[in-house]
Every structure is written in C-alpha cells, then in structure tokens.
C-alpha cells in the first residue's frame, strides 16, 4: 500500500497539507516558531486573533496551569490587522506557511472591516478566515456572538457577503445547544466549523484568596477538556453537512484520530504547542504512522464511529 495522503481540501480554496492545524492563540503569528518547527509542514497556521486596531489585552497574570490543562485570559492582545498584513503576512508566506487568519470584534462592523481587509488584493496569501464568535457583543449587552442564534446568523451572513475566501466559524462550548448553533452558522454561509473554543473556568490561589488570573476567569484548554470537546465536535459533525475541524486536548496522533472518527475532517492543536513547538507536525506524522500500521487512509477513518 502506498503512503497515506494527508492532504485535506476544506473547500473554497482552503487546501491543507495535513489535517493538523496550529490553533489560534497558541502559535502566535507563526513567526515566533520559526527555527523551532518547519512552518511549511504545518497543515495550516491559524494566527492569533486580529482586530481593526491594536489591542493591549487583559492585565496579568494571563495564564496559569491547571490539572491536565491551562487557563488563559490574554484578552485578545494583537497588533491590529494592518500591522499583520504589512509586517507578518509576507514573511509567513515566504516561509511557505498556509495562513488562516482568526478574526474577532466587539461589533459586527469590526468583524466586517477586518474580513474585508483580509480579503483585499494585498492579503492574497491568507488562504482562509476563522471567526472567533466567543467575543462579547457590546451592542447586545455583552452576550457572546456565538451564544445567540439570531446574532450569530446575522454576523456570519454579513461576513459571508464581505468575502469570497473560505469562512470557518469557531464555535463556543459555553452554550446549551451547540448543534443548533452549528446549523445556524452553516445556513448563514460558513464553509466549515471549528469546534470548540475554550471552556470558561476559574482557578484560585488559596494563600492569597485571589483568582490566579488577573481577569478572574479564563478559557480552559488541554487534555482536561478533551472528552467534552470531543462530544461537542461529534454533535457539530452530526448536525451539519459542512466540514468540522475538531479542537480540544489533542496531544497525540491518536487523539486527533478520535476527532476524525467522530466525523471531523481536520483538527487544531493548541495547548500542546506550549509543550512541544513541533506538535502540529509531530501529530500529523503520528497520524500517518497509525494509518500505515493499520493499512487504511484518512477517508476510511473520518466518520467511522460505531454506535
């Protein structure tokens, strides 16, 4: 049997070299990992979230370790979309990276502005867009865009109308009916879904009786959330006909294969990058080794869960 083909086509021009992407917020803007990993060998790099203008982020401490995971409350610090396009994007392209830009905003207009800039001729190197809909909508009393079906549908539809590029919507797990929201995003024009973002958590320092994060709460990630995230990815994949990219606690090739088994077409590796900068490449290599050992291919694994 020939070596398994790991390439994945998520549609609308987003071609992945492998089914393993580096998750937004865990790989910086890619350049931070230059010299530590072959960026051209990563399925795609989902860069840290971009906003219309530079943002300072939350007060420290911003990260703390937890049992089998970590909490973060970075506050979406970033240099703004213009700095990314002029300084970072060309260098990433020269290194052969496949670029997916994560987008967030406080209003619908913020999202549309960034998406339009990332869809302009000078952003041709950006292969796809990922919408972070876990951000609070300041015009709707701070409710996350991804938690309200009407708000989510309107946002995705507006962004869809603003770009011809692949549009991935990153679902929040902090809801009661993820499948319903997945269907809303798909109906509004999403090309794929990434599932899921971090779970809301809290850690306390008993010595000081204070939260370990400066912003009190933060997003929980890592192996601790894998069973929950895997269940939600399974629900999303069953609910829609578009590709789902699984996220949550993936440390090994076998972890990634479990997500493929429940119906995901690809995965994102996040917290593992803080332990091993080569994680996206290594996990892809482990997937390939497993497929060869078991005499099968990606297509045979995707959606193969037996009930």
Q: Number of structural domains, the chain?
A: 1
Whether 141 has a pLDDT exceeding 70, the answer reads: no
Is residue 37, in this structure, part of any structural domain at all?
yes
Percentage of the residues of the chain whose pLDDT score is greater than 70: 97
Q: For 214-260, what is each residue's pLDDT tens digit? A: 999 999 999 999 999 999 999 999 999 999 999 999 999 999 999 99
Is residue 102, in this structure, part of any structural domain at all?
yes
- Give catalytic status of residue 64 as yes or no: no
Is residue 237, in this structure, part of any structural domain at all?
yes
Is residue 128, in this structure, part of any structural domain at all?
yes
Q: What DSSP character marks residue 109?
A: H
Is residue 145, in this structure, part of any structural domain at all?
yes
Q: For 63-119, what is each residue's pLDDT tens digit? A: 999 999 999 999 999 999 999 999 999 999 999 999 999 999 999 999 999 999 999
Given the structure tokens 């970590």, which residue do they identify?
A: 70
**Beta partners for 70?**
65, 221
Is residue 269, in this structure, part of any structural domain at all?
yes
Mean pLDDT of 34-59: 97
Nearest Cα residue to 115 out of 166, 171, 163: 163
Q: What DSSP character marks residue 222?
A: S
* Domain assignment of residue 271, given as a range: 8-57+76-199+220-301
Residue 44: alpha-carbon gap to chain centroid: 11
- Using CA atoms, how far residue 208 sits from 2, 24, 165, 205, 212, in Å, is 59, 32, 49, 6, 9
Is residue 272, in this structure, part of any structural domain at all?
yes
Concatenated DSSP letters of 30-75: SGGGBTTB-GGGSSEEEEEEE-SS-B--PPSP-EEEETTEEEE---
Q: What is the CATH number of the domain that holds 151?
A: 3.20.20.70
Is residue 253, in this structure, part of any structural domain at all?
yes
> From the candidates 64, 89, 135, 261, which is the catalytic residue?
135
């Amino acid at each position: 049997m020939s070596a398994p083909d790991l390439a994945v086509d998520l549609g609308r021009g987003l071609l992945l070299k492998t089914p393993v992407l580096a998750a937004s917020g865990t790989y910086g803007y890619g350049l931070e990992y230059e010299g530590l990993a072959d960026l051209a060998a990563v399925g795609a790099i989902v860069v840290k979230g971009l906003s219309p203008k530079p943002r300072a982020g939350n007060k420290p401490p911003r990260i703390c370790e937890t049992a089998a995971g970590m909490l973060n409350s970075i506050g979406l610090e970033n240099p703004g979309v213009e700095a990314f396009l002029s300084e970072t994007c060309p260098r990433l392209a020269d290194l052969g990276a496949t670029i997916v830009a994560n987008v967030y905003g406080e209003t619908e207009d913020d999202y549309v502005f960034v998406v339009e800039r990332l869809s302009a001729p000078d952003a041709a190197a950006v292969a796809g867009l990922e919408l972070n809909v876990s951000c609070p909508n300041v015009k709707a009393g701070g409710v996350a865009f991804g938690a309200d079906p009407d708000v989510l549908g309107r946002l995705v539809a507006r962004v869809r109308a603003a770009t011809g590029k692949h549009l991935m919507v990153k679902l929040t797990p902090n809801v009661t009916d993820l499948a319903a929201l997945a269907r809303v995003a798909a109906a509004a024009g999403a090309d794929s879904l990434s599932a899921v973002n971090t779970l809301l958590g809290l850690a306390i320092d008993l010595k000081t009786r204070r939260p370990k994060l400066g912003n009190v709460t933060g997003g929980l990630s890592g192996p601790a959330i894998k069973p929950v995230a895997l269940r939600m990815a399974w629900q999303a994949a069953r609910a829609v006909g578009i590709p789902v990219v699984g996220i949550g606690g993936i440390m090994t090739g076998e972890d990634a294969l479990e997500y493929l088994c429940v119906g995901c077409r690809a995965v994102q590796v996040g917290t593992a990058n803080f332990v091993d900068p080569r994680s996206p490449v290594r996990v892809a290599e482990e997937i390939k080794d497993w497929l060869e050992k078991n005499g099968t291919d990606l297509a045979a694994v995707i959606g193969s869960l037996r009930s």
